[in-house]
Amino acid sequence: MNIPEWLEVSKQRAVENGYEPFEDTEAYGGEVFVKDDRKWIHSLGRLKHKLGVVTDDELEALGYSVTDYNHFNSDEKEFSWNIVMKTVNAELIEIFGDCAPDANGAIYLGDGIYMDEEGNTFGDWNR
């Protein structure tokens, strides 16, 4: 099973926060993490969609800890963004080669176009 990086981090956070893993083929990632009869949430949006619920209170009523998710694990979007950016960066390196940045940290792509560290493109006219 190919487990996303953010899910591995989420599983690690669950254990670090006292949740115990139990194998469960129905659970996302193949395990459910439980502490004090409350279940750890890896992805709030995915879980709500899977269970057909809308509110956090509905999840709480089903035995999930929304409080712990918000306190310890609510940055899954950041992980997803980092993974996407790593993929984009790898594709750009494949296309343009391993370009060294100039003194301003920008990489020359060609035809007077540069890209900064955040992935923004600009031309010679902006330098």
Tens digit of each residue's pLDDT (9 = 90 or more) over 87-108? 777 777 777 776 778 888 888 8
Residue 20: how many CB atoms within 10 A of its CB?
A: 12
- If asked whether residues 33 and 93 sit together in one domain, one would say no
| pLDDT value at 71 more than 90 | no
- If asked whether residues 58 and 25 sit together in one domain, one would say yes
pLDDT digits over 12-46, tens only?
999 999 999 999 998 888 899 999 999 999 988 88
Q: Which of 56, 77, 98 is the last residue in one of the domains?
A: 77
Tell me the average pLDDT of the chain: 84
Q: Phi-psi region for residue 18, left (φ > 0), alpha (ψ -120 to 50) or beta?
A: left
- If asked whether residues 23 and 43 sit together in one domain, one would say yes
Yes or no: say if 24 and 30 are a contact pair by the CB < 8 Å rule: yes
Cα–Cα distance measured from residue 48 to residue 56, given in angstroms and rounded to the nearest whole number: 8
Rounded (10°) CA dihedral 34, 32, 79, 97: 150
List the domain range (segments joined by +) for residue 21: 5-77
Determine the pLDDT at residue 59.
95
| pLDDT value at 1 more than 50 | no
pTM: 0.57
- If asked whether residues 64 and 11 sit together in one domain, one would say yes
Q: How many domains does the chain have?
A: 2
75: CB partners within 8 A, 6+ apart = none
- If asked whether residues 82 and 71 sit together in one domain, one would say no
